[in-house]
Homo-oligomer: A and B are copies of this chain.
């Protein structure tokens, strides 16, 4: 097992000094919802505000110059993190906005490859987060296109058995998640993208649960668009990323309209700046972008491969522990093959909300409920699950705390 030096990593994260209920230490197993932030990120934001704060791209004064350099520098760092060109990286407020940006932009045109109409199809999967499902439902509604989806196998894998029926010449967009935020399943994106491209479809990847956890290279992935949120990747809240292929970004209509995204404006009409500016209307989330730049640097300095190996080791240990608990049903892949460090389970008749509440007494933070993947819950016949998710500041002791906490929960509710 190749674990990270968690003690020295934790020293960068002030929140671990906090005392939880009953003076317990914080066992944070909810990074799938949002991650904590290292001092390096908090300091980068503060430095922006206290030394360089100004509206970017709009002024000739020194602060405006420095702010622009900081903001564009962050774009370069994020681009580097993804193996992309800087101009193909758009800053949004979140992955949710990134995905909505696409769905709206596609319906802001009625010609070219982005235009959809009755007879066209949009393909998603049953394991999508609501953020990669509802925008496409709405795009289908606006355009008359039909929404279709991959099912899920009982092991929590994408059901690809009917892929030839699902991906056809009618398919215009394929939007899938890289890693399920409920099951931990990592999907065979490259294969699906190849098939989709052969049919002329555009491929959108929800990388919210992958980009923070393992190495991403947009070129080898073979997708056309990729979205993720900063706040799940050690960065501040309020910043997300949309990466897109240059030639597609160039052709697309804008989404938000306002300052800085224009080329020229009259009272009647306006024309647009080139990407990425075209998609960044208004004074942007500058400090948050700078924070995201610092976050991806921090991740890179640890090394994405090492992070992946670390989480794999934790997941291995957790799978063993959880599988030994009687009455516990793990939903999702039972091994670490093509799966990440997100573990969802049911515990006898104890409702997830109650499980979470007992764990909270021991300082253990897990997520409970439908995890914004309600259709997947229905598929597995549960109203919700308890979910533990790992990141760089977790260690084997955290996993053991979870296992012990579950035993205590059973005891508390007299389920033995």
Q: Chain A interface (Cβ within 8 Å of chain B)?
A: 14-15, 18, 20-21, 26, 28, 30, 33-34, 36-37, 42, 45-46, 49-51, 53-55, 58-64, 93-97, 99-100, 103-104, 108, 126, 129-131, 133-135, 137-138, 147, 149, 229, 231, 236-239, 255-260, 262, 264-270, 281-288, 353, 356-357, 359-360, 363-369, 372, 374-375, 378
Cβ-defined contact, B356 with A61, below 8 A: yes
Secondary structure class of chain A's binding surface, majority of residues:
mixed
Cβ-defined contact, B34 with A55, below 8 A: yes
| Interchain Cβ contacts under 8 Å between A and B, 12 examples | A30-B63, A60-B368, A61-B366, A62-B365, A93-B97, A97-B282, A134-B258, A137-B270, A138-B257, A147-B268, A149-B267, A237-B283
Q: How many copies of the chain does the oligomer comprise?
A: 2
Cβ-defined contact, B131 with A93, below 8 A: no
CA distance A272 to B15 in the complex (A): 34
In the complex where A60-B368, A237-B283, A287-B236 touch, is A258 in contact with B100 (Cβ < 8 A)? yes
Q: How far is the CB of A44 from the nearest CB of chain B, in Å?
A: 12
Cβ-defined contact, B286 with A134, below 8 A: no
Known A96-B259, A96-B281; 10 more pairs at CB < 8 Å:
A33-B64, A34-B54, A60-B356, A60-B360, A61-B365, A62-B365, A100-B258, A135-B258, A236-B238, A285-B285
Cβ-defined contact, B282 with A359, below 8 A: no
Cβ-defined contact, A270 with B130, below 8 A: yes
Cβ-defined contact, A30 with B42, below 8 A: no
Q: Which residues of B have CB within 8 Å of A258? A: 96, 99-100, 129-131, 134-135, 372
Give the interface centre of A45, A137, A283 by most chain B CB atoms within 10 Å: A283
Residue of B whose beta carbon sits closest to that of A142: B108
Q: Which residues of B have CB within 8 Å of A372? A: 258-260
